Amino acid sequence: MSLAATDPIIRADRLSRDFRNLKGERIEAIGEVSFDVPRGAFISIVGPSGCGKSTLLRIVAGLLAPRGGDIFLQGKPVTGPSREIGMIFQSPVLLPWRTVLANVMLPAQVLKLPPSQYEQRAHDLLRLVGLSGFEDSYPHELSGGMAQRAAIVRALVHDPAILLADEPFGALDAMTREQMNTEFQRIWMESGKTILFVTHSIAEAVFLSDIVLVLSGRPSRVLDVVEVDFPRARDIDVMGTDRFGDYTKRIRARFAATSAVEL
- Give first-to-last CA distance, the chain, whole Å: 23
Q: How far is the CB of 82 from other proteins (least distance, A)?
A: 7
In which order are the strands placed within the sheet that holds 85-88?
Answer: 76-77, 68-73, 10-20, 26-37, 220-227, 211-215, 42-46, 194-199, 162-166, 85-88
Residue 253 engages other proteins in binding (rule: CB under 8 A): no
Residue 72 engages other proteins in binding (rule: CB under 8 A): no
Per CB under 8 A, the list member of 8, 31, 52, 107 interacting with other proteins is: 107
Residue 163 engages other proteins in binding (rule: CB under 8 A): no
Specify the residue, 97 or 174, whose C-beta has the smaller distance to other proteins: 97
Specify the residue, 90 or 258, whose C-beta has the smaller distance to other proteins: 90
Residue 196 engages other proteins in binding (rule: CB under 8 A): no
Structural Rg of the chain based on CA atoms: 18
Per CB under 8 A, the list member of 14, 34, 48, 63 interacting with other proteins is: 63
Residue 179, burial from CB neighbour count under 10 angstroms (0-12, 13-18, 19+): middle
Residue at 178: amino acid letter: E
Cβ 187 vs Cβ 130: under 8 Å: no
Residue 162 engages other proteins in binding (rule: CB under 8 A): no
Specify the residue, 97 or 263, whose C-beta has the smaller distance to other proteins: 97
Residue 46: count other Cβ atoms within 10 Å of its Cβ: 27
Specify the residue, 169 or 207, whose C-beta has the smaller distance to other proteins: 169
3-state secondary structure of 169: coil
Considering only residues 111 to 130 of the shown chain, the ones binding other proteins according to CB under 8 A are: 111
Alpha helices in the chain (DSSP H): 53-60, 100-104, 106-110, 115-128, 144-156, 174-191, 202-208, 242-262
Per CB under 8 A, the list member of 69, 89, 135, 170 interacting with other proteins is: 89
Residue 168 engages other proteins in binding (rule: CB under 8 A): no
3-state secondary structure of 95: coil
Considering only residues 133 to 152 of the shown chain, the ones binding other proteins according to CB under 8 A are: 138-140
Residues touching other proteins, count (CB under 8 A): 23
Specify the residue, 158 or 221, whose C-beta has the smaller distance to other proteins: 158
Q: How far is the CB of 44 from other proteins (least distance, A)?
A: 20
Cα–Cα distance, 255 to 217 (Å, whole number): 8
Residue 106 engages other proteins in binding (rule: CB under 8 A): yes
CB within 8 Å of 257: residues ≥ 6 apart: none
3-state secondary structure of 132: coil
Kindly list the residues in this chain that would bind other proteins in the complex (CB under 8 A): 61, 63, 80-83, 85, 87, 89, 91, 93, 95-97, 106-107, 109-111, 138-140, 158
